[in-house]
Structure 1
Amino acid sequence: MTEHPSDRDMACQAETGARALVDRIAQAVWETDARGIVVSDSPAWRRLTGQSLADLLDRGWVAAIHPDERRDIRHQWRAAVARGCSIDIEARLQVEGGGYRWSRLYIVPLRAEDGSVRNWTGMSMDIKARKEAEHVLRESEARLQGLVGELQHRVRNILTVVRSVFSRTVEGERPIEEIAEHFRGRLDSLARTQVILAQHPAGSIDLQNLIRDELLNAGVQDGPLLAIGGPDVGLTPLQAESLALAFHELTTNALKYGALRVPGGHLNIGWTTNIGYGGDRVLDFTWTEQGVPAIPVRPTYRGFGMELIKDALPYRLGAETRVEFLGGGIRCSISFPLPEQDGSVSTG
């Protein structure tokens, strides 16, 4: 007659198999009695946590949890024992040698034949790598949200500038061809600046490169009639955006009426950095034209370029500006505070 194993034997075999599986996937395993009190030694747990046998038997496994999470987990553990249900928690677990490491703690009740809890088995699994990956992901998401917010702000800002440029360009009774030419040139200047800003989203924009980009686009090459010089200066995106449009207006005016139009004209662009009254760095910029034969006459019509330099730059950059109509050409002076130096000037 074939002897069939009893239900008790099958249960013992199942429990033994479960323990073997747990031992393979867990860092450490420990047991408590039905009341949740540690009553036996757990060498693997002590090796993992550095917890002494006396502390383990006296204070229990919860004593190895990080102090910031210990109270909450002790509450969860007591509630689980009272209800007789398993718990699955994540916490920082002390490790041998000092410090804490993220672990997943899974604790289940083992029941007697009558369904009552006979004892509890717990196991810990290392989840440090997963937690670090989650942290990196959260930081990436935060940076992405910041970039999206900055992009939205930049788009709103540039649309406001475009509306302003358009409304000022179409003012006055001028041929539509002239209006279109001015508007197209200003839009091109804004577009070039946006390309520069997109290439250097985290760094500042080099002042000299910004100036040379505008001059080269207008066909103005280096030569004896052009002098550009000053220390390395990094601009914020707002400063670069505003100044690029001002440089476009100055260049356009010099090509049509000033030093870049006449053979004997000379253009000198220079800047220095100084300490302002408040202790901040201040940029002092000058655009000086010479050799223009026409008698200087202050224009009666205040165009977009003049309004930009006299009104917009002070409003947007806190700048002090001055435009002088001198014999031989105009002189434009712009002074404004610079950002703190951080070594992030983008010159490419």
Structure 2
Amino acid sequence: MKDNVQPLSCDVIAVLEAPARLAAVETAMPVFLGPDPDFDDIASLAAGLFGAPISLVTLLGRTDQWFLARQGTPEIRAPSQDSFCARMIAENGNEPLVIADARKDPRFAGLPSVVGAPHLRFYAGVSVVVDSQPIGTVCVFDVKAHAHVAPELPARLKQLASLAASLVKLKEEARRRAMTAEMLSRDEKRHSLALDAANVASWLWDLSTGMVSGNETFYRMLGVKPAKPMSARKFFMAVHPADRKNTIGQLRNALATGNEYDGLFRSAKSGRWLLGRGRVHEKDADGRPITFLGINIDVTEGQLASERTRLLLRELNHRVKNTLAMLQSLARQTLRQTSDPVEFMDAFAGRLQSLSEAHGLLSDHEWGGIHLKMLLQKQIMPYALDYESQIEIHKDEVELGPDQAVGLGLVLHELATNARKYGALSVRSGKVVITARVMNEEGHRVLNMTWHEVGGPPVDPARRRGFGSILIERSLDKILGSSVHVEYLPKGVTAVVRMPL
């Protein structure tokens, strides 16, 4: 039978391989998933019009013709080059074609479906045209020839083909919208996950309904439960009372001017600081705002850090003033004790270093307080020949404030330098025993500390007592209720410190 098949004409090849037509087929049906029940009624109506047992709604590809609907055949595809439809499109374009008896028509007589099973005889078909391209057909077949066809039937068949084209377009549009919706859904989900990961709250204010809705982070930041849309009034009530008026004013200004909203407020429930940004998202035909879109970011840590910085700067300013006054006093008192520049610089530099060590410890702890153990180590270690063996400490856990640390630091410095020059720290056999206990006196905590030197050279009170002793006794003058008493006993210097905490 193949020997009887006529070769494809140039016109049929041109139809099958036309790029624009194939692109339209690809757009209409990117993937053929089999017959579509939505086209069944069209195939049934076509068969009924002509009283034919076989009818098809097809898509014509370059190599295959797929059946979107079929009646009277189990097949779902056929080769395009062997089809009536490819020749119909090449011959008649967009107009219907009726073949009463294919055996007697040289254009179709050699087709396999005519020569062999199912031995087709009658054919009537018309193109399904989408975007000016014939992408397929609506057609009917019969194994018997039809001697007479009512003249109005081809026009009716063309109407069915137009209906099929409209259905193809609708499905294409629905598929495109579904894909767009899916992409939007994926984008929205990705954006939502990104916002949640970044701890960013997003919200939308529908001005027509007065309702505000947002993501989970939005409700969590405001402390609103359950997490569901709320009225604008409830939204404003979730803002801290101290910040509410300003926040409402800024939002109203953004609505009235179209400018961006940029505000900072606290949550009424949690007290956490939230940075808000937003703008009008949509307007009506008259230019009135319809929706307002915004975001919130938790900036509590930054606000607290900023507040800490301001407090530290105020504290630093206070400390600098106190330190300058103390330095002036130290310089004057040191000059009174010596006229030798070298001796003055040695003594004054040591006292400056003592202040620097105390300030350094306080700065490391943001001027909040330091432990007594750290202060003892910083002030005494430079003057001990062997700190571990020469310094014995018995103490309670004590935290000192800035004034206490600076004052006690000077006391320890003077005691340590004197001990290194003349006392227990001047020889390896010498030792300093420090006892620091916290006592409760009339409901107040008081530090009682003793410094006792043993194993050093005999003490000469006349030699040891000087400006250093005066400085020791006056270093805690700024701390009310404190005192320092120094005894130059022959076996070693003893100092008793009393300081309220």
1:9 aligned residue: none
Match of 1:286 in 2: 450
Match of 1:66 in 2: 236
| Partner of residue 123, structure 1 | 291
Percent identity reads 27
2:424 maps to which of 259, 268, 288: 259
Instruction: Point out the more displaced range, 258-267 or 326-335.
Output: 258-267
3-state SS of paired residue (2:385): coil
Closer, same or farther in 2 for the Cα pair 1:296/1:28, shift >3 Å? closer
Deviation at 1:251, TM superposition (A): 1.3
In 2 relative to 1, CA 264–239 (structure 1 residues): closer, same or farther, beyond 3 Å? same
Once the two structures are superposed, residues 88-125 of structure 1 have per-residue CA deviations (whole angstroms, 9 ceiling, x without a partner) of 66899xxxxxxxx96847498756xxxxx6x8442021
Larger RCO, structure (CA 8 Å, separation 6 or more): 1
Q: 2:489 aligns with which of 310, 326, 338?
A: 326
TM-score scaled by structure 1?
0.62
From 450, 465, 470, the equivalent of 1:307 is: 470
Asked if structure 2 preserves the Cα contact closer than 8 Å seen for 1:107 and 1:120, the reply is no
Equivalent of 1:274 in 433, 439, 451: 439
Report the Cα offset of residue 64 of structure 1. 5.2
Alignment partners' CA distance in 1, 2:422 and 2:484? 21
Q: Distance in 1 between matches of 2:362 and 2:385?
A: 23
- 1:54 is aligned to none
What is residue 152 of structure 1 aligned with on the other side? 317
| Contact 1:206/1:233 (<8 A) preserved | yes
Provide closer, same or farther for how the CA distance between residues 46 and 213 of structure 1 changes in structure 2, counting only shifts above 3 A.
closer
Are 1:218 and 2:218 matched, yes or no? no
- Which letter does structure 1 place at the counterpart of 2:293? M
| Structure 2 unaligned residues grouped into runs of 5+ | 1-187, 189-201, 215-227, 266-273
Cα contact 2:410–2:472 (8 A) shared by 1: no
Other-structure match for 1:57: none
Q: What are structure 1's unaligned runs of at least 5 residues?
A: 1-23, 32-41, 52-60, 93-100, 112-116, 339-348
Task: Give the partner amino acid of 1:314.
Answer: D
Cα–Cα, structure 1 residues 107 and 216, in superposed 2: closer, same or farther, change >3 Å? closer
1:86 to partner: Cα distance = 5.7
Matched, 1:197 2:374: no
C-alpha displacement of 1:275:
0.7
Counterpart of 1:122, as a letter, is: I
Instruction: Kindly state the Cα deviation for residue 224 of structure 1 after the two structures are TM-superposed.
Output: 5.5
* Inter-CA distance 207–80: structure 2 relative to 1 (3 Å threshold): closer
Q: Distance in 2 between matches of 1:160 and 1:203?
A: 22
Give yes or no for contact 1:87–1:108 (8 Å, CA) kept in 2.
Answer: no
* CA deviation map 1:267-302 (0-9, x unaligned): 32211111122x122111001123556465357x96
Task: Give the CA deviation at 1:321.
Answer: 2.0
Query: In structure 1, what residue type is equivalent to 2:204?
Result: Q
The residue correspondences of 1:75-224 to structure 2 (distance < 5 A) are: 104=278, 106=280, 110=284, 120-129=288-297, 132-133=298-299, 136-201=301-366, 203-222=368-387
CA contact (8 A) 2:384 2:420 kept: no
Instruction: Name the amino acid aligned to 1:290.
Output: V
Deviation, 1:208, is 2.3
SS at match of 1:314: coil
In 1, Cα distance between equivalents of 2:246 and 2:319: 47
Q: Distance in 2 between matches of 1:291 and 1:72?
A: 72
Deviation of 1:219 (Å): 3.6
Q: Which amino acid aligns with 2:444?
A: D
CA distance in 2, matches of 1:266, 1:307: 23
Q: 1:317 to 1:254 in 2, by over 3 A?
A: farther
2:374 aligns to what SS in structure 1? helix
Kindly state the Cα deviation for residue 306 of structure 1 after the two structures are TM-superposed: 1.9
Structure 2 CA distance for partners of 1:45 and 1:240, relative to 1, 3 Å: closer
Instruction: Say how many residue pairs are matched.
Output: 271
- Whichever residue aligns with residue 236 of structure 2, its letter is H
